[in-house]
Chains A and B, each alone.
Chain A
Amino acid sequence: MPWWVATRERTLLSESNSHPTGAVAAADAEVELVPATHPSEKRTFGELLTSDLRALPVIIGLVALWIFFILQNDVFLTPRNLSNLLIQSTVVGVMALGLMFVLLVKEIDLSVAAINGVTAVLMAKLIVEFGASPWVAIPLAIVVGALIGCVSARWVTFVGVPSFVVTLGLGLGLNGLQLILLPTTARYGLMGTSVETIALAKIDGLAAWGVLAIGVGLYGLLVLSSIVRRRRAGLSVSMVKGLALPLVGVTLFGAVVVAILNAHQGIPVVTLVFSALLGLGGYVLNETQFGLHLYAVGNNDEAARRAGIKVSRVKMAAFAIAGGISAIAGVIGASRSLGVGVFSGGGVGGGTLLLECIAAAVIGGVSLFGGRGSIHAPLLGSLVIGSVQNGLNLMGVHDEIRLIVTGLLLVLAVSIDKLIEKFTGQQSF
């Protein structure tokens, strides 16, 4: 029995299609059907730009930025500076990664920076005042971040208040809570608590290559298992395009990065954390049912609901992920600044941290209107923002210029996206 013959004997599209009145036999008698040509999967360049090659403009932009900075300053391309650049981009990148889950389901979380700040302060308070181990305080901070995300999601889906409003208000509230949690000195120093070593720790030498090998190995297994399944199912498989090309690409890219980082102390642990989150996020978004449902809900939540997807649960998970990841970014931020204070989480209102993590996601290609954006977005977006900051810094240009440039790049990135859609006549998804 074929798979689709579940309950009824006489069923549509069953083996009985040899029957003269079988399902489709009647169809061609009446109308001329579209000739059954072979599936044409060949795409024009314009079509590719709106699908598989959507990241290309951002990558070109990033390369252009780098060339500009390299021409301006000899220091930019040194391993030491590139290592710094990566560390500088981490907090914004991690935040953008978390925020992306919320943006994918057509919501927004304006409280991510506040979650970052309040959970960092909570962690520091537990460690400094209550003598908790970082092994307890850090996971607790992450859980609290996720719970805060759940609360906003519940409010959004149950009460029906737009997430923009809920999280704006919640963010301000959390800012207040952050100030309350702080001691009268308005600061918890984290020196000597071993939290401060997170941002400084690096994995170098052979260990760094080992880490790369593990990463590439996991990725290879994933790609290989897809190929094996396709082959077993009798579907066409391209060994070059499906297996060799992505694997070689990832290996080469990883090898270059590790080589550069090894030339200056090794892979920063925070970069490793970001990479691991990117890998995990990529798996979730591209491979799992939950990832698929995120895209479905973001594009057409009514269709998702009719298909039996529990939309509010998917949204809650997205908010929880954003909250939890913001807390991770908070820990990294606290470690980098060797302590927490009013400034944690970008300061009151989220400051540039909030704006930059939204900007990073959008520059990377995540749509604010849901259902669109890939895992490379937070990486590319945060690298663009981090490069501008780092490069202009090296040139001795002040912060105000950096803000102007970042703002212009944000608008430029979205404009290029729109122009590609306009000129190719293809809508990107």
Chain B
Amino acid sequence: MSEPMAAVAGRPNEAASQAPLISMRDIRKSYGSVHALRGASLDVLPGEVVALVGDNGAGKSTLVKVMAGVIGFDSGDYLLEGQPAKIRTPADATALGIQTVYQDLSLCNNLDAVQNLFLGRELTGPRWFGRRVRRAECEVRAREVLARMRLGSLSLTRPVGAMSGGQRQNIAIARSILWTPKVVIFDEPTAALSHSAAAQVAALIRSLADDGLGVVVVSHDIHHFVVNSTDRIEVMRLGGNVASFRSKDVTGEQVVNAMVGGNEGANLAV
């Protein structure tokens, strides 16, 4: 049990030797009398996929929203590479290398893949020319990223609204890594996907971690995705952490038990 977690996860040379990219300690957040977070903590290590699980209202969404700069927090420490993170807006988080793939994917259905990838950060011409979008340049870069994700078959000119759920998910992921982030947060990445599409997304997520990124995944898909495709599982309940598992050591039932408060996960916690 004293063995470093990352070593167990099979990447001894990376995660074990590196400091956490993100370290959240004792984060508290209340909405009036509702305590959404009562001292939640989470470390995000490079090269590791950490799953954040919990029942509805456990606080996992609130925690990732704090991480992504969507909402603020009342007290606690939010360290980014050891330094207090100055994150007030989603744009701050993005600028600091924390990208989020939202559950609703945040895509504009009437725009094509290239336009969605570069949305808000288009490469443009000079101001006096009305900031003309440098479509060709954007397209070349989009092609490169998609090709390396083995997504070369995606149409770049069709509106993404005309694409399948898996393709849209892939575009959202491609967008998150386009600007070389340090940490990528996934909110329910496999919900609403077919089995094969979910497997493809899981493989993509793994590939991000393999390349040294820290990956946080909020998921309800305990039995398939969480147990099989992550390295570490943090279980939240009532706004705090209740258990922590190495994914390869647990079964879905054990995780679910911890989520609903069965045996507190005590004897299984790392």
- Seen from chain A, the residues whose Cβ lies within 8 Å of a Cβ on chain B are 2-8, 10-14, 16-17, 21-28, 30-41, 43, 47, 51, 226, 229-230, 232-235, 283-284, 287-290, 292-293, 295-296, 298-300, 302-309, 371-372, 426-427, 429
Contacts and interface: CB of A to CB of B under 8 A. Distances in A.
Contact of B130 (A17, A30, A288): A288
A292 B111 contact: yes
Given A3-B141, A10-B212, A39 B154 contact: yes
Nearest to B212: A10
A283 B125 CA distance: 13
Contact of B210 (A8, A22, A47, A232): A22
B108 interface: yes
Given A37-B153, A235-B136, A292-B115, 19 more contacts: A5-B180, A10-B212, A11-B211, A22-B211, A23-B148, A23-B210, A27-B150, A30-B199, A229-B137, A235-B140, A287-B130, A287-B133, A288-B131, A292-B122, A296-B119, A299-B111, A308-B94, A427-B109, A429-B161
A307 B203 contact: no
A299 B109 contact: yes
A23 B199 CA distance: 16
A112 B94 CA distance: 39
B120 A307 contact: yes
Given A13-B177, A235-B140, A34 B153 contact: yes
Contacts of B134: 229
Given A27-B207, A36-B150, A303-B119, A233 B212 contact: no
A289 B203 contact: no
A33 B109 contact: no
Nearest to A33: B150
Nearest to A8: B180
Contact of A295 (B108, B153, B213): B108
Contacts of B180: 4-8, 11-13
A11 to B, nearest CB: 5
Nearest to A16: B211
Interface in B154-178: 154-159, 161-162, 177-178
B159 A51 contact: yes
Contacts of A2: 144
21 contacts: A6-B180, A22-B210, A30-B206, A31-B203, A38-B152, A39-B152, A40-B155, A41-B157, A233-B139, A287-B132, A288-B124, A289-B131, A296-B108, A302-B104, A303-B108, A303-B119, A304-B120, A306-B100, A308-B90, A309-B119, A429-B109
Contacts of B137: 229, 233
B136 A233 contact: yes
Contacts of A293: 120
B149 A426 contact: no
B2 to A, nearest CB: 26
A26 to B, nearest CB: 5
Contacts of B130: 283-284, 287-290
Contacts of A305: 90
A21 B106 CA distance: 30
Contacts of A30: 199, 202-203, 206
A12 B133 contact: no
Contacts of B73: none
Contact of A309 (B120, B145, B158, B196): B120
B224 interface: no
A296 B178 CA distance: 19
Contacts, number: 197
A33 B119 contact: no
A402 B136 CA distance: 47
Closest 9 CB pairs of A and B: A307-B120, A429-B110, A303-B106, A308-B120, A233-B136, A229-B136, A27-B203, A307-B119, A289-B131
A149 B122 CA distance: 27
Contacts of B107: 300, 303
A27 B145 CA distance: 15
Contacts of A39: 152-156
B28 interface: no
A299 B110 CA distance: 7
A202 B207 CA distance: 66
A31 B136 contact: no
B111 A295 contact: yes
B141 to A, nearest CB: 6
Interface in B199-238: 199-200, 202-204, 206-208, 210-213
Contacts of A372: 110
A6 B179 contact: yes
A429 B140 contact: no
A165 B6 CA distance: 58
Contact of A300 (B91, B106, B210): B106
Contacts of A308: 90-91, 94, 120-121
A287 B115 CA distance: 12
Contacts of B136: 226, 229-230, 232-233, 235
A11 B208 CA distance: 10
B135 interface: yes
Kindly name the residue among B115, B120, B140 whose own CB sees the greatest number of chain A CB atoms within 10 A: B120
Nearest to A373: B110
B128 to A, nearest CB: 12
A289 B122 contact: yes
A232 B136 CA distance: 9
Contact of A426 (B133, B141, B162): B162
A294 to B, nearest CB: 11
Nearest to B119: A307
A424 to B, nearest CB: 11
B246 interface: no
Interface string B79-97: 0000000000011001001
A300 B140 contact: no
